Every structure is written in C-alpha cells, then in structure tokens.
Chains A and B, each alone.
Chain A
Amino acid sequence: MLFSLLAAVTEVSWGYFGAGLGAGIATIGAGIGIGRIASTAAESVARQPEAAGDIRGITIITAAFIEGVCLFAVVVCMLIQGSLEKAITG
C-alpha cells in the first residue's frame, strides 16, 4: 500500500501539496496576530472601560488588515492551484 502511495505522488501532486501547505502556514501567522490583538484589546478594556468604543474600532480595523495579509498568501495558493490545473489539462 505504501508503495502504491509513493508511486502515485508526482511532481504535480507536490505542487498541490505546496499550495495547501502554504495556505495553512499563512493562517497560523494570521491566527497568532489576531489572537494578540484580541488579548491586548481585552486587557485594555479591562484597564479602562470608558475607552471600549475606541478599542473596538481599532481591534476590528487591525484584525481586517492582518486577515488581508493572510489572504494574500491564500490568493497566491489559489493561483498555484489554477496554474496546476491548467498544466494538467492543457
């Protein structure tokens, strides 16, 4: 079974593997970043509840920026997948 698995892996399969791995690793970075934003925001609101409105705005905007960076990597992986599809069928 292992031999058939190894025989089935071609260069194109490695391409898909790379695309998926890239998207996953990019999500790790986004998760860490947004988690830190959330923890700092909660701490700041606990220190100073009157600033909750401002902190909410800052949290949402910065979280959207970090998510945008993660999605850049996802877009690159989608491009890889698209060109692999074209390489297979074209």
Chain B
Amino acid sequence: MSALLAAGSVVDHLVDTPLLGRWLSAHHVLLILTALAAVLGFRTVARRARAGAPGGFPGLVEVALVWVRDEIVYPWLGPERGRKYLFFFWTLFFFILLNNVLGLLPFPFNLWGKAATGNINVTASLALLTFLLVQASGMRQHGRLGYWLHLVPHGIHWLMWPLIFAIELVGLVTKPFALTVRLFANMTAGHAILAVLVGFLFGVAHYANAAIGGAASVASLAFMLFIMLFETLVALIQAYIFTVLSAIFVSLAVAEEH
C-alpha cells in the first residue's frame, strides 16, 4: 500500500502514474471509474425516481439536476434551445464534478489520490467538446458560412474588418484554452499544496529533532484539513464555472443580431 502512496517528489503526486506502459494509467482508470459511477448511479436514481415524487438520494440528485438546468442552462440558452443542450451540460457538469471530488477521496476509493481533471489532456478534451459544440451551434444557427462572417459584430468599419476578424478568430481559440488551463491548474494546484504539506510530515522530523517535528506535524495537519475543505469548495466551483462558461459561449455563438 505504501508503494501506491509514496512518491519520489511532490511532482510525482501531480503527474500521471503509468500502470500498463503507454496503454493504461491512473488517470485512465479514474476516468473509467467516474464514467461507470455516473452511468450506474444515474440509471439507478432514474429507475427509483420514475414512480412519482422522489425522496432520499434520488431527490438529492433531482435537486442538483434542476439546479444545473435553472441556474446554468436556461438563463443563458432559454427554455426551448436549452432543452436541446441540457443533456450535454448535465453530462459535462457531473463528469467534471465527479472527477474533481474523486480526486479528493482517500485511499480505498481512489487508489492514487489523483484527480483525472488534474491532467491537462482530460481538460483539453472537455474544452474541445465545448469548442466543437459552440462552432456547430453557431453554424447551425447562422448557416455554415454566415457564422464565420458574423463573427465580426455589425457596425464595424470595413477597413477594420480584417483586424477584428483575426482578433475574433484568436478569441475563439483562447476561450477553450482558458477553460482547459483554469480547470487543470485549479485541480493540480490544490493537490500540489497537499503534497507539499504531506512532505512536511516526513521532512521536518528528519532534519530536526522530534519536538520540532511534532509541532510541525500538528501545524501541517491543521493546514491540510483547511486545504482539503477549500479544495472541496474549489471542486464544486470549478465544475460550475466550466459549465457556465460553456453555456455562455454557446449563447454567444447563437445570439441573434439586433
């Protein structure tokens, strides 16, 4: 068990652990675990909730789903269009949320103590999904060519048009990039702080005597508790921010000119 938890340095807690050469790694397994948990969990909840007003755990899940619908999707996309995109945003929100929270769970639930969303490839894939959805929605709304021509707002002088078009194109790419880095960095930074604090437990007693080591351990544990609570908050907030920004980008792409 200690071989799973020990690491050569702080960085080993942050990067992926290969399990089967290039084919399988810790983050892969965590992603599959999250997907299985989400599919099985939501199916069970749906089956139990089908008969009338749900209570207990299905009721809690319904509260979360309704909250995402009424606070994230419908305010930005409206009821009719939002109804069509609702499943994507539900999937996105709960996938990110489950991965973030799974990264905080202790040993038996999460064998490596890592978060799959702390891998920039995972967050880049999610941002790529958002990017593709934004382009597809815009092209469906304004026509395949009309979407690109309408990137530049009305009322721009024609001399400025190429410059503004270039800026808008760059903006199209930087927004998903920002989504990627924001989620990746928030998850990685939290785990980095925790790894450094755990390192204090081992390192201070090694370099100083036992009394200083004991005091540093108590302080380190107190900090770790606080950082764990803060990381829980960050996990929820980052899932919300990713989803709400995706909804905003889609709403910007399908906005009618007035």
* Chain A interface residues (CB < 8 Å from chain B): 60-61, 64-65, 67-68, 71-72, 74-75, 78
Contacts and interface: CB of A to CB of B under 8 A. Distances in A.
A68 B186 CA distance: 7
Contact of A75 (B181, B237, B238): B181
Which label, helix, strand, loop or mixed, suits the secondary structure of the B interface? helix
B64 interface: no
A74 B244 CA distance: 24
Nearest to A75: B185
B237 A71 contact: no
B159 to A, nearest CB: 33
Which label, helix, strand, loop or mixed, suits the secondary structure of the A interface? helix
B189 A74 contact: yes
A74 B185 contact: yes
A64 B241 CA distance: 8
Contacts of B244: 61
Interface string B216-238: 00000000000000000000011
Interface of B: 178, 181-182, 184-186, 188-189, 237-238, 240-241, 244
A64 B237 CA distance: 8
18 contacts: A61-B240, A61-B244, A64-B182, A64-B186, A64-B237, A64-B241, A65-B241, A68-B181, A68-B182, A68-B241, A71-B181, A71-B186, A71-B189, A72-B178, A72-B182, A72-B185, A74-B189, A75-B184
B241 to A, nearest CB: 5
Contacts of A72: 178, 181-182, 185
Given A72-B181, A75-B181, A60 B189 contact: no
Contacts of A65: 182, 241
Contacts of B240: 61
A68 B178 contact: yes
